[in-house]
Amino acid sequence: MSQLTHINNKGDAQMVDVSDKVISTRIALAKSVVFMQPSTLALITSGQHKKGDVLAVARIAGIQAAKKCADLIPLCHPLMLTKVSVEFNIDTEHSSVEIKASTKLDGKTGVEMEALTAASIAALTIYDMCKAVDRTMVISQTQVLEKSGGKSGNWKA
């Protein structure tokens, strides 16, 4: 039987004060992968899914999610994104859709959370649109691939 531990944090949660940071161009790239049955992938790629163009809907959902990141994650700063893109790579060998989301702005804080949110929501949208035909789908490998800008500079996985 597992034992639960109660954690009592005495500190208050706070948003990080970025007012003294320098404005710089910040870019982040994140990914997520949806694994599915080959027949589900065929429905998506052929455009024969009865709900419509799965990838087009997932792209719009991802872009919309990046713009709403601060509404979803409590301590994220609301950001004026200058670019959000969501792209898909189809892998028939592994029966999967890889989602890559890129975010960009000129600002005082990074855009990694917005890129992760875009990739995650695009993946969830694919799941939602296809769950009636494939309950075995798995969403995994959600991660930041790279980021640039800011005091910490460039980083790549």
Has 71 been annotated as catalytic?
no
Span 43-74, pLDDT tens digits: 999 988 889 899 999 999 999 999 999 999 99
pTM of the model: 0.90
Q: Which of 12, 20, 71, 128 is catalytic?
A: 128
Q: Which helix (H) or strand (E) holds 100?
A: strand 96-107
Residue 2 pLDDT exceeds 80? no
pLDDT tens sequence across 74-83: 999 999 999 9
CB contact set of 116 (below 8 Å; sequence gap of 6+) = 28, 30, 101, 142, 143, 144
Domains of the chain, first to last = 37-147 (3.30.70.640)
- Residue 4 and residue 7: Cα distance in Å, rounded? 10
